[in-house]
């Protein structure tokens, strides 16, 4: 059956230089859309050392556009990124939280700044190389998981608006990664075997601790057990994540069981890092979360009290939970089973089957979450 011609619909694709967006361009071209591409520069530094391989990525993007004969634009969103993503990233670390800048990059840059820029260029729709899908429903457009569950990126897209979702296409959402690479190889794209980008782009190959210390002053302090026994010194609470095992520098102690130590808590007021020797210590296993700033893809919560599944980190399997809305800005999440290393600043993202409902920022966990009121959560959020 011949492919329907869609040359009356103008689509502008975010082209990163990677294989996923390259194949998205290929598919859109084959489907007959009037297609253009935009390469976004979202980070730059005063010392002119760009750790995200921007020049190489732009050349890869340009080669794809030359092969497909589509126009390529280049836009710099670095100022927007610093104001709307990076500043919040630093604020979160300074307040003892562990943020996820990839979620904010999608919400603030790719599906706000880029969407607005593309529309000013005359685009009717934008497209990206994200592994996700969407479908129209009675309550609006739904965000769905990708066909490739191992590459699904709905977790990182849960914060985009209904308007952005309605005006976006995810051409590779029905494909698996091996199919994407085969299409790129068959098309003759030089980036068909290009390694997937990992980690935080603006940090690149640098040590995370060195990067962060160049923006925030390190404040060394005590490492202690829950009972208060002093074990050593930490380099700064911002360098540690709940559940972290490596890099603590307290192994091989006398009268120790020899088991590895894990970060169990961070006391910002006392600048103390609390560690335990049991991976499944009660301090690391919690069932309750008080989350703030919930965002719902449909525009509203599914109900005042509802059951669903959730992920408190990207690679986690779905966990059964119950969500109670406390007000428009706060919700309490009760998991059926205890979760390991629930981390303030990370996102808890909600699902109903294949549909991503939305998500919220983890504020407090365990007993603090159960006893906290929306007022105390608001003060904690504002302080952060």
Q: Which domains, from first to last, does the chain contain? A: 10-187 (3.40.50.620), 218-276 (2.30.30.280), 282-383 (2.40.30.10)
pLDDT of residue 384: 39
The DSSP annotation for 250-313 comes to --S-TT---PPPEEEEEETTTTEEEEES-TT-GGGEEEEEEEEEEEETTSS-S-SEEEEEEESS
Segment holding 335, helix H or strand E: strand 330-340
- Give me the phi and psi of 199, to 5 degrees please: 75, -170
Tokens of 310: 């959730």
Angle made by CA atoms 181, 187, 191, in degrees to the nearest 5: 55
User: Containing H/E element for 350?
Assistant: strand 347-352
User: What is the signed CA dihedral for 56, 62, 102, 175, rounded to 10 degrees?
Assistant: -120
What is the bridge-based pairing of β-strands 330-340 and 347-352? unpaired
CA distance 114 to 170: 15
Residue % of the chain over a pLDDT of 90: 80
User: Distance between CA atoms of 94 and 86, rounded to whole angstroms?
Assistant: 12
pLDDT (0 to 100) of residue 210: 87
User: What is the DSSP pairing of strand 72-76 with strand 34-41?
Assistant: parallel
In this predicted structure, the answer to whether residue 277 has a pLDDT above a threshold of 80 is yes
d(Cα 87, Cα 101) in Å, to the nearest integer? Answer: 10
pLDDT digits (tens, 9 = 90+) for 163-191: 999 999 999 999 999 999 999 999 999 99
Contacts of 55 (CB under 8 A, 6+ apart): none
pLDDT at 2: 36
How many other C-beta atoms are found inside a 10 Å radius of the C-beta of residue 7?
10
In this model, does residue 335 exceed pLDDT 60?
A: yes
Considering the chain, what is the average pLDDT of its residues?
A: 91
pLDDT value of position 380: 45
d(CA 165, CA 147): 18
- Ranking 7-11, 179-183, 380-384 by mean pLDDT, the lowest is 380-384
Whether the pLDDT of residue 40 is over 90: the answer is: yes
Question: Between 367 and 67, whose confidence is greater?
Answer: 67
Residues 140-144 have a mean pLDDT of: 97
Given a cut of 70, whether residue 5 has pLDDT beyond it is no
The 10s digit of each residue's pLDDT in 69-107 is 999 999 999 999 999 999 999 999 999 999 999 999 999
Measured between alpha carbons, how far is 315 from 254 in angstroms, rounded to an integer?
36
Q: What is the pLDDT of residues 188-247, one digit of tens each?
A: 999 998 888 777 777 766 788 888 999 999 999 999 999 999 999 999 999 999 999 999
Q: Are 13 and 38 in contact (CB under 8 A)?
A: yes
DSSP string, 19-83: HHHHHHHHHHHHTT-EEEEEEEE----TT---TT-HHHHHHHHHHHHHHHT--EEEEE-HHHHII
Question: Confidence class of residue 45 from pLDDT cuts 50, 70 and 90?
Answer: confident
SS3 of residue 95 by DSSP: coil
Give the pLDDT band (50/70/90) at residue 54: confident
pLDDT at position 375 is: 60
Pairing mode, strands 285-296 and 330-340: antiparallel
Return the number of other C-beta atoms located less than 10 Å from residue 365's C-beta: 23
pLDDT score recorded for residue 201? 73
- Per-residue pLDDT band at 376 (split at 50, 70, 90): low
pLDDT of residue 126: 98
* Residues with catalytic function: 105, 201
Give whichever of 46-60, 251-265, 334-348 has the largest mean pLDDT.
334-348
The H or E element that residue 126 is part of is strand 125-127
Containing 89, the helix (H) or strand (E) segment is helix 87-94
pLDDT for 180: 98
Q: Which residue has the higher pLDDT, 256 or 347?
A: 347
Cα separation, 96 vs 148, whole angstroms: 34
**Lowest mean pLDDT, pick from 41-50, 213-222, 340-349:** 41-50
Q: At residue 264, does pLDDT exceed 90?
A: yes
Q: Which of 11-15, 245-249, 364-368 has the highest mean pLDDT?
A: 11-15
Q: How confident is the model at residue 254 (pLDDT cuts 50, 70, 90)?
A: low
């Amino acid at each position: 059956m011949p492919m329907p011609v869609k040359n009356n619909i103008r689509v502008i694709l975010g082209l990163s230089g990677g294989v996923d967006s390259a194949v998205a361009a290929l598919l859109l071209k084959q489907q007959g859309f009037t297609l253009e591409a935009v390469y976004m520069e979202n980070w730059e530094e005063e010392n002119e050392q760009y750790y995200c391989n921007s020049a190489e990525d732009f050349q890869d993007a340009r080669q794809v556009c030359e092969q497909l004969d589509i126009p390529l634009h280049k836009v710099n969103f670095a100022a927007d990124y610093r104001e709307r993503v990076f500043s919040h990233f630093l604020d979160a670390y300074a307040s003892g939280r562990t943020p996820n800048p990839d979620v904010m990059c999608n919400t603030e840059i790719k599906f706000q700044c880029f969407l607005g820029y593309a529309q000013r260029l005359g685009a009717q729709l934008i497209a990206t190389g994200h592994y996700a899908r969407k479908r129209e429903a009675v309550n609006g457009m739904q965000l769905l998981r990708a066909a490739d569950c191992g590459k699904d990126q709905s977790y990182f897209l849960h914060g985009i608006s209904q308007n952005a979702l309605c005006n976006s296409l995810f051409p590779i959402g029905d494909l698996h990664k091996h199919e994407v690479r085969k299409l790129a190889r068959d098309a003759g794209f030089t980036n068909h075997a290009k390694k997937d980008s990992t980690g935080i782009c603006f940090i690149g190959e640098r040590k995370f601790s060195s990067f962060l210390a160049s923006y925030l002053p390190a404040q060394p302090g005590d490492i202690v057990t829950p009972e208060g026994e002093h074990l050593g010194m930490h380099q700064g609470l911002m360098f540690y994540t709940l559940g972290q095992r490596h890099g603590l520098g307290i192994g091989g102690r006398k009268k120790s069981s020899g088991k590895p130590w894990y970060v169990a808590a961070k006391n910002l007021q006392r600048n103390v890092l609390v560690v335990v020797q049991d991976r499944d210590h009660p301090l690391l296993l919690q069932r309750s979360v008080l989350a703030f700033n919930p965002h719902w893809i449909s525009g509203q919560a599914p109900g005042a009290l509802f059951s669903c599944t959730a992920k408190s980190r990207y690679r986690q399997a779905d966990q059964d939970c119950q969500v109670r809305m406390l007000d428009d800005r706060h919700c309490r999440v009760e998991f059926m089973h205890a979760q390991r290393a629930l981390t303030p600043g990370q996102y808890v993202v909600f699902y109903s089957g294949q549909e991503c409902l939305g998500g919220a920022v983890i504020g407090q966990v365990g007993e603090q979450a159960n006893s906290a009121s929306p007022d105390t959560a608001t003060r904690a959020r504002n302080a952060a």
